[in-house]
Amino acid sequence: MADYFDRLNYTLGDEDTALEYAILPRHASHVLGIAGCGGRLLPLLAAAPARMTCTDISAPQLAFTRLRFALLEQTDHESFMAFMGYRMESMRARRRSIFQQLVLPPADRRWLSVFFQSRSWEAPIYMGAFEQTLKRLAKITGLFTGKAGRGIFQFSQLDEQTEYYRNRFPLKRWKAVIALLGNAAVLNSLLYKGAFPPNNLGISSRAAYLEIFHTLFTTQVVRESFFLQMLFFGELRYPQGFPLECDPQIFQRAREGLQQCELRVVQADILDCVAGETAIDFVSLSDVPSFMPEAAGKNLLQRLAPALAGNAQVVMRGHLHVVRPDCAGFCDITQQYQADIAREKTQLWHVQVYRRTPSLQVSR
Per-residue pLDDT of the chain (364 residues; tens, 9 = 90+): 445 556 899 999 999 999 999 999 999 999 999 999 999 999 999 999 999 999 999 999 999 999 999 999 999 999 999 999 999 887 999 999 999 999 999 999 999 999 999 999 999 999 999 999 899 999 999 999 999 999 999 999 999 999 999 999 999 999 999 987 766 555 555 555 556 788 999 998 889 999 999 999 999 999 999 999 999 999 999 999 999 999 999 999 999 999 999 999 999 999 999 998 999 999 999 999 999 999 999 999 999 999 999 999 999 999 999 999 999 999 999 999 999 999 999 999 999 999 999 764 443 4
Q: What is the pLDDT of residue 362?
A: 42
Check if the beta carbon of residue 280 is closer than 8 Å to that of residue 307: yes
Q: Is 222 left (phi over 0), alpha (psi -120 to 50) or beta?
A: alpha
Residue 77 lies in a domain: no
Maximum Cα interatomic distance, the chain, rounded to a whole number of Å: 62
Check if the beta carbon of residue 16 is closer than 8 Å to that of residue 345: yes
Residue 165 lies in a domain: yes
Angle subtended by helix axes 248-260 and 59-74, to nearest 10 = 100
282: β partners: 31, 313
CB atoms within 10 A of CB 120: 7
Amino acid identity, residue 58? S
Nearest to 283 by CA among 245, 252, 317: 317
Residue 201 lies in a domain: yes
Residues 18 and 27: their CA atoms lie apart, in Å, by 17
Check if the beta carbon of residue 43 is closer than 8 Å to that of residue 244: yes
3-state secondary structure of 272: helix
Residue 24 lies in a domain: no
Nearest to 4 by CA among 243, 339, 291, 298: 291
Residue 338 lies in a domain: no
Residues 24 and 90: their CA atoms lie apart, in Å, by 33
Q: What is the pLDDT of residue 240?
A: 96
Q: How would you write 34-59 as a 3-class SS string? A: ECCCCCCCHHHHHHCCCEEEEEECCH
Residue 226 lies in a domain: yes
Give pTM, 2 decimals.
Answer: 0.93
Check if the beta carbon of residue 221 is closer than 8 Å to that of residue 227: no
H or E segment and range at residue 281: strand 280-284
Amino acid identity, residue 46? A
Give 189's contacts (C-beta < 8 A, 6+ positions apart): none
Amino acid identity, residue 277? E
Nearest to 27 by CA among 224, 260, 205: 260
The count of C-alpha atoms lying within 13 angstroms of the C-alpha of 228, restricted to the half-sphere facing its C-beta, is: 27
Q: Which alpha helices (H) appear in the chain, and where do they start and end?
A: 2-5, 18-23, 59-74, 77-84, 92-101, 106-118, 129-150, 158-167, 171-181, 184-187, 205-219, 226-233, 248-260, 270-273, 294-298, 300-304, 338-343, 358-363
* 331 φ/ψ angles, rounded to the nearest 5 degrees: -120, 130
Residue 307 lies in a domain: no
Q: What is the pLDDT of residue 363?
A: 39
CB atoms within 10 A of CB 215: 12
Range of the domain at 142: 129-241
Look at the chain and report how many structural domains it folds into: 1
Q: What is the pLDDT of residue 214?
A: 97
Residues 156 and 220: their CA atoms lie apart, in Å, by 10
Residue 203 lies in a domain: yes
